[in-house]
Structure 1
C-alpha cells in the first residue's frame, strides 16, 4: 500500500513471518487446467505471434509432451502437513477486547467510522499445505480456491470475496460485511439470516463498506457510471452467512487492470473507513504485520480482463510455522467479546482443513 499511498511510509517490519515479496507476478506460457465440474483436463499453450508458424509447431510438440506427462507421469511425492503444536492466538481474549475498545475510542473521537482489526493464530508445522488445500475444497468450497508454492513460502486459501473484477472495461467489486455462524439445519439458517439482515450494527458496517467500494471504483470510473447493482444480499458459505452487495463502474479510457488494483487495495472490508486513517490505526494496534493477509490473489489475462480475490480465509506456511489470520469489523456499537469470537469463527474452516489434512494419504 505504501507504493500507492505515499503518506503510509511505515518502516519495514522485522517480523520474519511478514518477510515476503510485496508482489509476485508470474507469466505462464503453458497451462494444465483441471475443470472440477466437467472432470476434464485442458492443455493450453500461449503463442507469440512473432514467427507464428514456427511457434505454433513448437507449441504442438510441447503440448504432446505435457499430455504424456499427465497420462504417464509418476505420482508426485508430496510431504504430509503435520502440526507439531496446537494453534495459539497472538491476542488473548482480554487483549483483543481492549483493542476493540481502543478502536471504538477512535470512532467516538471522529477519526474513523469503522476499522477491521485482525488476530493472528500460529502453530509449528512441518511439510506441505497441499493436502490442506484438497481438504478445503470439500470442507469450505468458495468462489476463490488457491494453492501457491514458491521459494520458502506456501499459501492456500478459500476466499469468499472479490477485490476487483474487470470484464471488457467494466469493473465490479462485491463488499462482504456482516457475518454470523451457519445453523445446524435449514430452519436455523433461515432464523439466523432473519436476525442478520435486521441487525442494525451489521447493516451499518456493511453500508459504510459499500460506500467505500463506490469511492474506490469512482477513482478510475467514467463519470456517473458507478452503481450499486445489488444491496444486502444474503450468501451462505460452509461455516458462515454473509451480507453481500455488488458495486460496478465503467473504467476510464487509458486505465487498465493494474490501475483497478491500485484503486481498491486494500479492500475497505479489510481496513476500514476512511481507509487511510484506518490503516494508520491498524498499524498502531495490531501486534504483527499482516504480510500477505488482506492482499490480492488472482489473474490478469491477455485481453486485459482480471479477477482477483482478497487474501483472506487462508494459511501461510513459512519458516516451520503455519499462520492463519482473521479480522472483525469494529463500529461504535460493536460488542468486544462478539468481535473476538468473529475472528475465531472466520479462521476455523482453515484450521480445520489443516488439522484434517494430517489424515490424508
Structure 2
C-alpha cells in the first residue's frame, strides 16, 4: 500500500461547528491556548494592519501527518506509521489529491487541506548540494498534517468560524501525556546562558570571506546567519504570545508537533496563492528603530536612500521574478510595489511585492520545486549562495529560512519565510538570525544587524530569566 492509497476518500465533507462574533486578537488567543496544550496543532497569527494580515487561524486534531527526511516519507495516523521512498513534494501533491473532497470553498482563505513546514534542508532533494553543516537536531525536512478541526478569524469583520471535517476511518493522532510545566521560561543556572555557534570574530571573518567570493565573481549576495541556543524549561506558548504582544507581525506561527515546537515571529511572506495568482513579498534592508523621533526618522531615511540596500533588494526581486517565471504564464509577472517601507517595534524593513499568473494545472509541489528556498534568505545566484552558506555556517538551519503555512484544497496557499524563528527540542531553544551580505557590506554592521533582529526574543528571555532568579 502506498501513502496516498492509505487515505484516499477518507474526507467526506465539512460542517460548520460554531460562529464567534466580535472577536479580537486577545479573545482569539484565549480560545487557542488550551487547544495547543491538548492536541498537536498549529496557529498562524496575524498582527499589524498591513494588507497581508487579515486572517489568523488555528488547526488541531490532526488525523494524519506526513514528514520526510531526504526521500524517505513517513505517513502517521492514529493506527501507526507507513514509510515510503518518494520525493517529498510529489508525496505532498499526491496526499492533497488523495484527501481532497468535493465541496466548495466555505470559508476563505482556508476550507481544508494541509498545514506545516518546509525546512531549509529540503533544498538537498531539489538540487545537488553539499551537506557538511552538522544536523544536530535530526528533525524532519518537511512536515504537514491534515487537521480535523480549524478556526479562521477574519480580523477585518471580527468573525471566527470553527469548521470540522467529516472523515471515515481516521481518528485524531493522540498526543502522549505530558508533565505539567512551570510558567517560567528560562532556567536560572549556568546552562541557561545564551550561546552562539559563532564568536563575533568568526562571524566577521565569514562576512569578509563572502565579500571575497563576491569580488572573485562567484556570487552577488549571500545570506549568512548565526544560531543562538539556551536551555528552556517553561511553557513555549507563553513565550510566543509575549513575543507577539511585544512586536506583532503578519506571519507569526506556532507549531506543537511530536518531539519539537516551533515559535515563529516572521513578517515576511514567501508565497501566497489565490486561484491562478501567485505572490511573493521579499524583505531586504533593515535598520533599528530609534529611541527618539529624530533618531527614528534618520534610520528610516538612511534605509530608504542607501544604495547598498537598494541593490540588495533589487537583486532578490530579479531572482524571484525568475523563480516565479518557471511556473507562471509568460509576461504575467509584475513588480506591484518596490521598496515599500514597513515599520515594526524594533526595525524598519524594505519590502517588494511580485505577482504572476500561474500556468494551468500547476500543483503546490511544482510551485515549491520552482521557488524553494526563498531567494531573500539564500542569496544570488541561489545555488552557489547555498553552497557558500553550507561552507560557512556550522549547523543546519532546519525550519529557519524555510517556510511555514498552509496549502489548501481549493487552490489557496500562504507560506511565510521562517525568519525570527525558534525551535524547541529536548528543553533547549534554538534561534538563528542573519542578513544578506553584498560587496559593500561592512563586517561589524552585518554582525550588529543580526543582534537587532534578535532583540525581541533576547529581551523576552532576559526578562523571564530575571523573574526566575528573584
| TM score, norm. by length of structure 2 | 0.67
- How many pairs does the alignment contain? 333
Distance across 1 between alignment mates of 2:438 and 2:394: 20
Aligned to 1:189: 296
3-state DSSP class of the match of 1:215? helix
Instruction: Say whether residues 1:303 and 2:422 are aligned partners.
Output: no
Aligned to 1:350: 457
The runs of 5 or more residues in structure 1 that have no matched partner are: 51-75
Task: Specify which of 136, 142, 152 is matched with residue 16 of structure 1.
Answer: 136
> Matches of residues 183-262 of structure 1 in structure 2 within 5 Å?
183-262=290-369
Task: Specify which of 398, 412, 416 is matched with residue 291 of structure 1.
Answer: 398
3-state DSSP class of the match of 2:332? coil
> Matches of residues 138-157 of structure 1 in structure 2 within 5 Å?
138-157=245-264
Instruction: Say whether residues 1:28 and 2:147 are aligned partners.
Output: yes
> 1:162/1:108 Cα in 2 relative to 1: closer, same or farther (>3 Å)?
same
Alpha-carbon shift at residue 253 of structure 1 (Å): 1.1
Distance across 1 between alignment mates of 2:228 and 2:423: 11
Instruction: Say whether residues 1:2 and 2:124 are aligned partners.
Output: yes
3-state DSSP class of the match of 2:142? coil
3-state DSSP class of the match of 1:322? strand
Instruction: Say whether residues 1:44 and 2:163 are aligned partners.
Output: yes
Alpha-carbon shift at residue 188 of structure 1 (Å): 3.0
> Matches of residues 258-337 of structure 1 in structure 2 within 5 Å?
258-337=365-444
| CA offset digits 1:124-182 (Å, max 9, x no partner) | 22133111111011111010111111111111111010111111211111110000001
Alpha-carbon shift at residue 305 of structure 1 (Å): 0.6
> 1:176/1:128 Cα in 2 relative to 1: closer, same or farther (>3 Å)?
same
Distance across 2 between alignment mates of 1:110 and 1:117: 18
Instruction: Say whether residues 1:160 and 2:256 are aligned partners.
Output: no
Give the conservation status (yes or no) of the 8 Å contact 1:164–1:260.
no
Give the conservation status (yes or no) of the 8 Å contact 1:132–1:356.
no
Q: What's the RMSD between the two structures over aligned residues?
A: 2.3
Distance across 2 between alignment mates of 1:9 and 1:314: 24
The answer to which of 263-272 and 33-42 deviates more is: 33-42
| CA offset digits 1:17-51 (Å, max 9, x no partner) | 2x111111111122245667776653212346x9x
The runs of 5 or more residues in structure 2 that have no matched partner are: 1-122, 169-178
Distance across 1 between alignment mates of 2:201 and 2:415: 35
Instruction: Say whether residues 1:175 and 2:282 are aligned partners.
Output: yes
Alpha-carbon shift at residue 350 of structure 1 (Å): 2.1
Alpha-carbon shift at residue 96 of structure 1 (Å): 0.5
